[in-house]
Amino acid sequence: MAAAFHQRIQEALLDERLQTALYAATGRLMDKRKSGVTAQQCPDYQELRAHAHLIKRHTMENLDYYLELLARKVEEHGGKVAWCRDAGEVQTFVGTLAKERGIRVAVKSKSMLSEEVALNEALERYGVEPVETDLGEFIIQLAGERPFHILAPAMHKTRQQVADLFQEKLGGKREEEIEKQTRIARTVLRRRFLEAGLGISGANFLIAESGAVVVVENEGNARLATSCPPVHVAVAGIEKVIPRAADLALFLPLLGRSATGQPLTSYTSFLSGPRRAGDLDGPEEFYLVLVDNGRSRILADREKRQTLYCIRCGACLNICPVFRKIGGHSYPGTYSGPIGAILTPQALGISHEPELPFASSLCGACAEVCPVKIDIPKILLELRSEVRKTETRERRWNFEKLGFGVWAWLMRRPRLFELVGTAMLELLPAAGPLLKPWTEWRDFPHPPPKTFRQLWRARKAGA
């Protein structure tokens, strides 16, 4: 598994087109976020972050209460709630529901959770064609790939690549202009909305006090996916619940500004059960699927449960120097970047993905931009320590450990330390091949002309 991870990283680093697209796209998103959180644009940004962190903490500490309240409210509005422990239960629930209704086409608005539980593959096994309707998701579905970024799933594709893809899969004229490509996608998708028997959405927030599912988007496709088909299924992780609608006054601006620099995302929909008498549109049946899939395990750890505060804004990915080089497809699992590095090993178990907590420079930039103040570097360190504890004695005997052991031994012998230090200055230039794994992707600093001790002695003699 580690070998596959390293292989994907090598491939990403060698792909010049990917490197250019990735650096430019994350840079643009970072710039937008930066301009959205300035003191002029959002004077109380830091207070909002602190407050959002507290609300999330309070909700996670009382998650059982808020989930029960949410379920009661959804049912009061005529909706049904399904509790699913893992991916298999979600697949069975949604697949069986579609099969019983004789549904052949399901339109989906962007949902990372449905990726996490491999819902598309499951639907196909039940004879249902899943159609992604978010433009980025539509592109990667056509390309047969998985999302590259939690917010911008097709971030790695250039418009020229999209032009080739559309021409190959949809036919028609090759169009490189993004507006024209959007028009092509819209024409194809409008028809699919009308023929779909099932609409599947994710949820950005679940309001416990009212039972509303809140979906935030910029394209309007989620509104069509949740109101055109006769059946709507919202699939959401249990951590998406927040106590009150009033809390959105914090979370919506934090999400919009951190994700794309927008004060608010273009469309915010509140979905509360099936269509009622007198409603102009809406589904006849509404289901909320609440998914655990490892989240209870994360919740059980008092320190690391803050992982569940994440509102999936993507800011930590855009700023992460590791993500910006290796990209989303290098990471195993659905979630990439710093949040993926802490979420995936905890949800699946540390032995499944032991490499992930090490895919970080620990620079702390992720914690600085996180709108809900998740201390990602701290969790990474804790996970690293857990990985080390689970490793066998033999495996721990690696070069890093050996190197630090020798260094500690030398530090206790000052004269020898000095001798070795002086010799190293001479030997370092010749040690190039030995340092290749380290220097392949970064520059080795030029060694100073003299050791610290030589410089110190010279300085004292001159004083």
**What residue ranges bind ligand SF4 (CB under 6 A)?**
258, 310-316, 339, 369-372, 374
Residue whose tokens read 């699913």: 84
Rounded CA separation 217/240 (Å): 16
Instruction: Give, in order, the Cα–Cα distances in Å from 422 to each of 250, 408, 416, 433, 457.
Output: 58, 17, 10, 20, 14
CB atoms within 10 A of CB 437: 8
**Residues present in the chain in total:** 463
C-alpha to C-alpha distance for 220 and 376, rounded to whole angstroms:
32
Q: Which amino acid is at 85?
A: R
Inter-residue contact 289 to 235 (CB < 8 Å): yes
Nearer to ligand SF4, 231 or 242 (CB): 242
Contacts of 265 (CB under 8 A, 6+ apart): 216, 217, 218, 252, 255, 256, 259
Q: How many CB atoms lie within 10 A of CB 95?
A: 19
Specify whether the CB–CB gap between 99 and 127 falls below 8 A: yes
Cβ at position 309, least distance to ligand SF4 in Å:
7
Closer of 264 and 458 to ligand SF4 (Cβ): 264
* Closest CB to ligand SF4 among residues 332, 338: 338
AA identity, residue 205: F
Interacting residues of 89 by C-beta distance below 8 A, sequence separation 6+: none
Q: Identify which of residues 272 and 334 has a Cβ nearer to ligand SF4 in the complex.
A: 334
In the three-class reduction of DSSP (H, G, I as helix; E, B as strand; rest coil), residue 365 is classed as helix
Which residue's CB is nearer to ligand SF4, number 30 or number 370? Answer: 370
**C-beta of 452: minimal distance to ligand SF4 in Å?**
40
Closest approach, Cβ 338 to ligand SF4, in A, equals 6
At 54, give phi and psi (nearest 5°).
-65, -40
CB 445, min distance to ligand SF4, A:
31
Contact (CB, 8 A) for 201 and 225: yes
Q: For residues 440 and 434, what is the distance between their CA atoms, to the nearest angstrom?
A: 11
Least Cβ distance, residue 85 to ligand SF4 (angstroms): 24
Beta carbons of 225 and 193 less than 8 angstroms apart: yes
Q: How far is the CB of 57 from ligand SF4 (least distance, A)?
A: 14
The answer to whether the beta carbons of residues 281 and 232 sit under 8 Å apart is no
For ligand SF4, the closer of residues 211 and 332 by Cβ is 332
Residue among 80 and 329 whose Cβ is closer to ligand SF4? 329
| Residue 369 beta carbon to ligand SF4: minimum distance, rounded to whole angstroms | 6
Least distance between ligand SF4 and beta carbon 215 (Å): 17
Q: Which two tokens stand for residue 357?
A: 């907590």
> Residues 98, 120: contact at Cβ < 8 Å?
no
If the CB atoms of residues 131 and 339 are measured against ligand SF4, the closer one turns out to be 339
Rounded to a whole number of angstroms, the minimum distance from the CB of residue 371 to ligand SF4 is 6
- Nearer CB in complex with ligand SF4: 91/204: 204
